[in-house]
Chains A and B, each alone.
Chain A
Amino acid sequence: EAGVVQSPRYKIIEKKQPVAFWCNPISGHNTLYWYRQNLGQGPELLIRYENEEAVDDSQLPKDRFSAERLKGVDSTLKIQPAELGDSAVYLCASSSRDYNYEQYFGPGTRLTVT
């Protein structure tokens, strides 16, 4: 079984530029999460989807961050415009009732904003 796929793996951009991250969850997993992980810290939830619906986006900085999961499968997280403080690893995870809700994480996208 393929795991959670994320792309790109690395991204370097200048501040004020836009950036987008893509996630393909494990097949059949209806719950999808985006996390941000700063250096030396644990992941922090940005947004959680149940199918197409964003059910918890309380930690998403909505002035510059947006996310979508149009067909309840793949998801895209966007930052526009990026700031220096957005440099972090962005992790996607998915889970399913059929697998005891265990969250499976992708490898992440390491974003560097210069």
Chain B
Amino acid sequence: GESVGLHLPTLSVQEGDNSIINCAYSNSASDYFIWYKQESGKGPQFIIDIRSNMDKRQGQRVTVLLNKTVKHLSLQIAATQPGDSAVYFCAENPSRRYSTLTFGKGTMLLVSP
């Protein structure tokens, strides 16, 4: 289930489950949204992005959903694996070209074997 820890919201799932990580963004003018994965001791790693003219985009085992009406972004991970355990951040950008990313609060995903 999902809980709010001292520092980060944490989502704990079993291996093989589907995971959904949510994010609320702040700028209604943002045109470009990105999900990053950050493992301990590493920098953020690009997972998937979506433009504001889309409401869904799929990658390998991941799907991003965008709801501009309520300024909400979600990341769905299918068949979650222990290697998916990490902190996930959403980021918004006024435009892809000008790359001024504003990161949201992260969510820690813990996958149990």
Contact = CB atoms under 8 A, between A and B. Distances in A.
A46 to B, nearest CB: 12
B83 interface: no
A54 to B, nearest CB: 14
A79 interface: no
A53 interface: no
Contacts of B105: 41-42
Interface stretch (A13-21, A62-70, A80-88, A101-109): A101-109
A56 B94 CA distance: 14
B8 A40 contact: yes
Interface residues of A, number: 25
Interface in B55-105: 89, 91, 96-97, 99-101, 103-105
Majority DSSP secondary structure for residues of B touching A: loop
Given A42-B89, A42-B104, A103-B101, A108 B43 contact: yes
Contact of A95 (B8, B99, B103, B104): B99
Interface in B35-66: 41-46, 49
A44 B43 contact: no
Residue of A48, A56, A105 with highest tally of chain B CB at under 10 A: A105
A113 interface: no
Contacts of A107: 41-43
A73 interface: no
Contact of A103 (B41, B46, B97, B104): B46
Contacts of B42: 107-108
A45 interface: yes
B97 to A, nearest CB: 6
Top 7 nearest A-B pairs (CB, nearest first) are A42-B103, A105-B43, A40-B7, A42-B89, A105-B44, A101-B96, A106-B43
Interface of A: 4, 31, 33, 39-45, 48, 56, 91, 93, 95, 97, 100-108
18 contacts: A4-B43, A33-B99, A39-B7, A41-B103, A41-B105, A43-B89, A43-B103, A48-B100, A91-B44, A93-B43, A97-B97, A101-B97, A102-B49, A103-B46, A105-B43, A105-B44, A105-B45, A107-B41
